[in-house]
Structure 1
Amino acid sequence: MTLKDYLTKLKIGLPKTMVHLDKQVYTAGSIINGTIEITGGLLKNKIKRYDIDLVGIDSQAFVEETFNSHSVFCSLESIPNQTGKITFLIDVPNEIQHSQNNFQYSLMINIDLGNSNNITQNVPIKIGAVS
């Protein structure tokens, strides 16, 4: 087994991600405009696909619901010590009820690096009343 294979298996040196959103509070019918900032790890990696899901969790019934989903197949490189950006837009459906206090919303972001390696990030968001 090569050093690269060993580090990959242990998930050491994978790229790091940070998600930036254009607002702190969204309303039903609005659009989330965001950026995924990817800083390369120790090894060069290829991003094969990324998925962004807008999910809500009913904290009383313990039920998760996906309100919107966005998947992109790609072939992007993540180079050590360099930072790249992926911009995205995802709609907040009109059906989302801000008045449901028992719902917690978040963006679930999954970046597929191939070879069974994924980077997953959960970004909480707030859905407020339409003003």
Structure 2
Amino acid sequence: MMLLKYALKMGIGLIKAKIIFEKNAFEPGDIIEGRLELTGGMVPLKVKRYDIDLVDYNISNLNESIINSHSVICSFVLNAIERKEVPFRLDIPEQIGSKNYMAAARILLENDQVLTAESLLQITVKE
């Protein structure tokens, strides 16, 4: 049991998270529809909260800024090897530049561990 607790603190056997989008490309003013796919790890863990952010990031200077955010306080247990899908929606502002964007998810577990998942987005700005 002690080894299992240590493994979980090191991130071994934790829940796996993946962001999946309904479309591959988006335009300013679109609504991003997708889902957060959670797969249970070695032991049941309680999910307390999740946040999904639309992030503008600059590769050259490693700056990030959150454009839009979706936060949910929840309470559910994800059993070992169980799969759960959580739908989400994020609005893309009408006035947005042609830069690099990604969706980033943070999942807060009962033991105050934080899981992260990121997925790049293609937003096409029409001239």
TM-score, length-normalised on structure 1?
0.87
- Residue in structure 1 matched with residue 123 of structure 2 by the alignment: 127
Within-5 A mapping of 1:4-83: 4-60=4-60, 62-83=62-83
Q: Structure 2: which 5+ runs fail to align?
A: none
Quote how far apart the aligned CAs of 1:34 are: 0.5
Which SS does the other structure have where 1:28 is aligned?
coil
d(CA) in 2 for partners of 1:55, 1:114: 26
Relative to structure 1, the CA distance from residue 128 to residue 5 in structure 2 (aligned partners, 3 Å threshold; closer, same or farther) is: same
d(CA) in 2 for partners of 1:3, 1:77: 22
| Percentage of identical aligned residues | 35
TM-score, length-normalised on structure 2?
0.90
d(CA) in 1 for partners of 2:13, 2:76: 17
Which SS does the other structure have where 2:12 is aligned?
coil
Larger deviation: 109-118 or 22-31? Answer: 109-118
User: Which residue identity lines up with residue 125 of structure 1 in the other structure?
Assistant: L
Q: CA RMSD in A?
A: 1.8
Q: How many residues align?
A: 127
Q: Structure 1: which 5+ runs fail to align?
A: none
